[in-house]
Structure 1
Amino acid sequence: MKQRLEDSIQTGGTYKARSYNHLAFVNCLQGNCEEAIQNLKEAEKILMENHEDQFDERIIVTYGNYAWVYYHMGQLTEAQSYLDKLERICKQFPDASRYTAMIPEVSGEKGWSLLTSAAQYYEDAKECFKKALEDDPDNTEWNLGYATALSRLETFSGTPENCEPTKSMKQFRRVLELDPDHGEAMVLLALKLQQSNQSEEAIELVEKALLKSPNLPYVHCYAAKFYRLKGDMEKAVKLLKKTLEMTPHSTILHHQIGLCYRKQVLSLIKNPRSKRPGDPAFQQRAELIELCKDHFKKAFEPRPLTFIRAQLDFARICSLNEEYENVEETYNNLLRLEGIRPENKQEICLDVGLFELQEKKSEANAIIHFLEGMKVDCNSVERKKCRDNMKSISERQIRRNPRDSKAHGVLGLMHQLDGKKREAVESFEKALELDPDNEEYLSALCELRLSISVNNDFPN
């Protein structure tokens, strides 16, 4: 995060004061309190220069951060002086508490802080921007934040936003009404239009964004993603490498480059010559796989707790190259993660299950992971895939051996998690018939029958 914030400041992003505030937070956590104070001074200076007419509203977060950092430094007099400043400012706002006011500027800043942290905070970020827009509907920053939060939530199959993928498009158009030259809004809208097969307008927006924002890394990154999805790998890689010169440590850029190379690998694999050692196609495939791995590692190594997608992509390319030790190490690290989005957890379980099934030929281990994915309470595409794979394995095992009690038990668990109590009872009864002393099946059957009896779901 520190590197990303420094890159944002260095490349002259529009909202440098926000980046300095975030950087102060990170520096304070790392014990660099003097550096944190310098960051806050920079933020204060920028706010005074750019928002003199709204300085009191804009400075609340920064003054709060000053008080917080000085408190951690043990300089209580300085901390109190900033609390006093906050108290004087907050008296201007009717609904404010003593030291803060949830006015649009504060709600919006909170939204951006959450949005730039990790995926599990996107819903909260969306609500912050929504609140900011209630009182300040024509603010470009809050409209962009709201659109971005919606857009990211739409990518998760288990969210309500995923059912309304055009909502963010409307919001990005609102940003462009307020600021027709907003490069980031242009490319983000273009990506949404691309998903809806509205390619002509999307291409125009991307080309315009690159002209209007020739030095903004995020604009270039999103534009490169657009070209990659369009199938123009050469243009995408060229744009990403150019942007990498501006921000060489950008994890997002490395991930995008890795995805471009992976697409080339998958295309090359279709060529039979790529499997013949000594053939140029074989050598090209090997080089592309190494490039993939290198860029994926550079994407997730600085962000092992949050960049889950890059780690899954690394594991997939290693599996393709039969580097199973790397695959297992990556999956073991991912399975230990806690506090992540439910869709991410389910995707990890799905990938590990497929690896166990397809590469290690272990149906038993695959079922364990598919079952874990199903247990996560989120109605996503990944959960459905876990379920479908579990069902296929169990039914295949029953066809091979109709007296396989474990397979019937797995079907019972699957139906139970689906809320299909009648089918679950039938499967567990069959499993117990074949394995009468199994306490797990007996317990599950008793629980189901009790639930049915209490809720009167169907007659005994």
Structure 2
Amino acid sequence: MNNTSDLLKVKLDQLQCHFTWAPQKENIDLDDLQQRLEGSIQLDVTYKDRSYNQLAFVNCLQGNCEEAIQNLQEAEKILRENHEDEFEKRIIVTYGNRAWVNYHMGQLTEAQSYLDKLERICQQFPDASRYTAMIPEVYGEKGWALLKSTSQCYEEAKECFKKALEKDPDNIEWNFGFATALSRLEVFSGTPESDKPIQSMKQFRRVLELDPDHTEAMVLLALKLQQCNQTEEALGLVERALQKSPDLPHVIRYAAKFYRLKGNMEKAMVLLKKGLEITPNSTFLHHQIGVCYRRKLLSPSKRPSDPASEQRAKLIELCKYHFKKAFEPRPLTFIRAQLDYARICLLNGEYAEVKEMYNNLLKLEGIHPENKQAIRLEAGLFELNQEKPESNAITHFLEGMKIDCNSTEKKWCRDNLKTIAERQLRRNGRDSKAYGVLGLMNQLDGKKREAIENFEKASELDPDNEEYLSALCELRLSIKADNDCPNKS
């Protein structure tokens, strides 16, 4: 029995489906993903089969294998009804997932039967392996699965859509997926796409060439145009999208973001509350509403009849309520909402709660590097401004700088460190720790000679410090190696 199971597992590992693509259980907030997929199924008319497939994967990881089977039966039914002409191309992923679920249930004969079905289907594709075919439909499904799972997968998702488009360049679905992947990568500083949103803008325009009524592409393009100060075209696209799809949740939410960034809080709030009526559990909408209330909180009151303190207290509670609604279902993935909540608590003088939140956030593992840097930055600023020990703030800022991600938060960590070190040296020109901090900053920035200069000053003032001596040794050896190999890349 074990031998049969092991042999079957070897075959299953060769499949292209959610069980071999997505980061596994430890890297995904399964409850959050399940909620988002169930929401997509409720609202999405076009691609329910895709959501059912990924939901089957999530249910299986959670031990709900019977529900997973039902999800896959629904996916197969939808594909037969909506894609009769290309059913065999689109069923490959579903049958792969079905084989895996049967395997997890111990139904090895049933799992083998789905492998046999895949083998028969794959025989019609010239470049296929025994059990799978890397055709546009499979690349496209993989791309969307990776976009749904975690931000660490966006780069791979982009490559999947590129592969799909090589063989099917006019496919609207894959073009939109490619544009979405580019757009999300642009959010993360330090990626090749992050300098300017030119690539995603071009790709969203390509989607609208193929489908002039693609309203989601309209609003996403509008947000990119707004970022580049092309506001007139952006506003026209948003108005057109809302006219064509007034009740489409994704159109509503991105249009609201556009108006918020434009400074029209009232219009943004109207749209967000309308969206919340359609999708009451949307973490995105709750967060955006919280951001709007925060904007009002930080703006001067224009209602003299409403006492300022009473209005402030009301806005603080509204901010906290909506930020909490945003992050409670997504504690591992919606880090920004938690930091926003902590900032509001800070404004309200709730220092103990803020400290506890930062301590909990610092313990999280498996989160995006940019989020880690944001946590370090905020924790450092809290230590610096409220708790007062500069040494604790320095530790947080240095840890933020050490994370390999060139984000805005990393720059702010660096700026704060520089300010602290220079202030310490103004107070005491023989502060070895300040020189040590500057040396480590230079080292992290790749400025080796400046780093050596500062570590030498630190070491002169504190000659027994092993950390400074070790850093000097490492830097001098590194410079010697660079000089010995001048053409080293």
Q: What TM-score comes out, normalization by structure 2 length? A: 0.89
Q: Give the corresponding residue for 2:97.
A: 65
Q: Report how far residue 297 of structure 1 moved.
A: 1.0
Q: Report how far residue 211 of structure 1 moved.
A: 2.1
Give 3-state SS (helix, strand or coil) of 1:162's partner: coil
Contact 2:80 2:87 in 1 (8 A): yes
Task: Tell me which of 185, 197, 206 is aligned to 2:229.
Answer: 197
Q: Give the corresponding residue for 2:54.
A: 22
Letter in 1 for 2:457: K
| Aligned counterparts of 2:415 and 2:323: Cα–Cα separation in 1 | 29
Q: Tell me the alpha carbon deviations over residues 352-378 of structure 1, each in whole angstroms, 9 at most, x when there is no partner.
A: 111211222222111101100111122
- 1:222-237 paired onto structure 2 within 5 Å: 222-237=254-269
Contact 2:358 2:379 in 1 (8 A): yes
Task: Tell me which of 307, 328, 339 is aligned to 1:280.
Answer: 307
Identity in percent: 78
Letter in 1 for 2:330: R
| Aligned counterparts of 1:57 and 1:326: Cα–Cα separation in 2 | 53
Task: Tell me which of 360, 367, 389 is aligned to 1:362.
Answer: 389
| Aligned counterparts of 1:143 and 1:93: Cα–Cα separation in 2 | 23
Give 3-state SS (helix, strand or coil) of 1:67's partner: helix
Q: Report how far residue 164 of structure 1 moved.
A: 3.3
Pick closer, same or farther for the CA change 1:341–1:436 going to 2, 3 Å. Answer: same
Task: Tell me which of 282, 288, 303 is aligned to 1:250.
Answer: 282
Q: Give the corresponding residue for 2:359.
A: 332
Q: Give the corresponding residue for 2:153.
A: 121
- 1:207-356 paired onto structure 2 within 5 Å: 207-268=239-300, 280-356=307-383
Give 3-state SS (helix, strand or coil) of 1:419's partner: coil
| Aligned counterparts of 2:420 and 2:170: Cα–Cα separation in 1 | 54
**Structure 1, unaligned stretches of length 5 or more?**
none
Contact 2:373 2:403 in 1 (8 A): yes
- Range with bigger deviation, 394-403 or 302-311: 302-311
Contact 1:300 1:308 in 2 (8 A): yes
Letter in 1 for 2:344: I
Q: Report how far residue 457 of structure 1 moved.
A: 8.3
- 1:76-91 paired onto structure 2 within 5 Å: 76-91=108-123
Q: Report how far residue 151 of structure 1 moved.
A: 0.6
- 1:125-136 paired onto structure 2 within 5 Å: 125-136=157-168
In the alignment, is residue 40 of structure 1 matched against residue 72 of structure 2?
yes
Contact 1:11 1:215 in 2 (8 A): no
Letter in 2 for 1:379: N
Letter in 1 for 2:60: C
Contact 2:377 2:397 in 1 (8 A): yes
Task: Tell me which of 415, 440, 444 is aligned to 2:467.
Answer: 440
Task: Tell me which of 184, 208, 211 is aligned to 1:152.
Answer: 184
In the alignment, is residue 407 of structure 1 matched against residue 403 of structure 2?
no
In the alignment, is residue 184 of structure 1 matched against residue 216 of structure 2?
yes
Contact 2:459 2:468 in 1 (8 A): yes
| Aligned counterparts of 1:167 and 1:124: Cα–Cα separation in 2 | 16
Letter in 2 for 1:116: K
Q: Report how far residue 279 of structure 1 moved.
A: 6.6
| Aligned counterparts of 2:34 and 2:51: Cα–Cα separation in 1 | 9
Letter in 2 for 1:9: I
| Aligned counterparts of 1:366 and 1:13: Cα–Cα separation in 2 | 50
Q: Report how far residue 178 of structure 1 moved.
A: 1.1
Aligned residue-pair number: 453
Contact 2:189 2:405 in 1 (8 A): no
In the alignment, is residue 50 of structure 1 matched against residue 109 of structure 2?
no
| Aligned counterparts of 2:351 and 2:178: Cα–Cα separation in 1 | 41
Q: Report how far residue 449 of structure 1 moved.
A: 1.7
Task: Tell me which of 129, 146, 171 is aligned to 1:97.
Answer: 129
Q: Tell me the alpha carbon deviations over residues 65-90 of structure 1, each in whole angstroms, 9 at most, x when there is no partner.
A: 11111111111221111111111111
C-alpha root-mean-square deviation of aligned residues, in Å?
Answer: 1.8
Letter in 1 for 2:178: Y
Letter in 2 for 1:219: V
| Aligned counterparts of 2:292 and 2:45: Cα–Cα separation in 1 | 26
Give 3-state SS (helix, strand or coil) of 1:122's partner: helix
Task: Tell me which of 437, 442, 445 is aligned to 1:418.
Answer: 445
